[in-house]
Amino acid sequence: MKRLFTLAIAALFFTSCSDDNEPTETVNPQASGSTRITFDSRIGNADFALNKDFTVDNKTYNFRKLRYWVSNVSLIDDKGAEYKVPDSYYLIEEVGDMDLTGTINDNKNIYPAKKRESVDLTNIPAGTYKSIRFSIGVDQKYNDNLSLVAGELSIANGMSNISWMWHSSYIFSSLTGTVKDAGSTVAFKTETGLNANYKTLTVDLPAPADFSATKEVILNVDITKVFDGIDVAKNPTISALTPALMSTVAENYSAKAISFGSVVK
């Protein structure tokens, strides 16, 4: 009994000492920031638009659909640390009404006309950031298993394909329309997909940005560069059946089409 009494007194003593050493002030975390990233589609120096003629290198293009996945967005601060935006899967698109009946079931399924160029990032840790890193497409984890859910990933929007490589996977990008060359008009459909064509790029800002004071970062997306090195009039269908061409298009999205535009404060 004496031993138990002694242990109880000792426990009380150490507990009192621990309480005395507790901090008396609470340190509040620094405020987080938010910003918008806009993927401004262009045809050279002109605004991209559907159902409008654009002449590029003596060819006349008329676009019907533009869609691509932006995924796994990261912000790189001025010390090189990386903040990974959670669940960052976004469908950038400009489309008219699309009939998707039969892509999931036989019920009538009309995907409404939509133009979406911007994504809003919130709860960004305080600091100054020098670069934006993201990918075009869907990473292997989600591309190989369409039942997994993250961000805006869904098979309900017509951006998946059941015929590529004998299994279901996401379409990373889709660009359709017509091209007129030497008096002949051809309908084209350019799509990318498959894990090998998942591409990551980093866009450097001209100066580190504090996203608590930066409203928007605008990235220029020159659609004409998507076809760089490809004669679309002679190759109107680009898909998994044309792997070399599809690889070129995927590389063009990541290496040539997207560049820094401006910062809005």
**Cα separation values, 112 from 100, 155, 211, Å:** 10, 15, 33
Nearest alpha carbon to residue 202 among 129, 137, 133: 133
pTM for the structure as a whole: 0.86
Provide the token pair at 265.
């404060």
Nearest alpha carbon to residue 246 among 226, 260, 263: 226
pLDDT digits (tens, 9 = 90+) for 87-137: 999 999 999 999 988 666 667 889 999 999 999 999 999 999 999 999 999
Nearest alpha carbon to residue 253 among 218, 217, 229: 229
Nearest alpha carbon to residue 62 among 148, 156, 186: 186
Nearest alpha carbon to residue 63 among 40, 78, 74, 47: 47
pLDDT digits (tens, 9 = 90+) for 197-242: 999 999 999 999 999 889 999 999 999 999 999 999 999 999 999 9
Residues 6+ apart with CB under 8 A from 263: 205, 206, 209, 214, 216, 217, 218
Query: Distance (Å, rounded) from C-alpha 153 to C-alpha 143?
Result: 10
At residue 14, the pLDDT reads: 37
* pLDDT beyond 60 at 6: no
At residue 72, the pLDDT reads: 98
Rg (CA), the chain: 25
Nearest alpha carbon to residue 65 among 214, 180, 194, 226: 226
Q: Please provide the size of the chain in residues.
A: 265
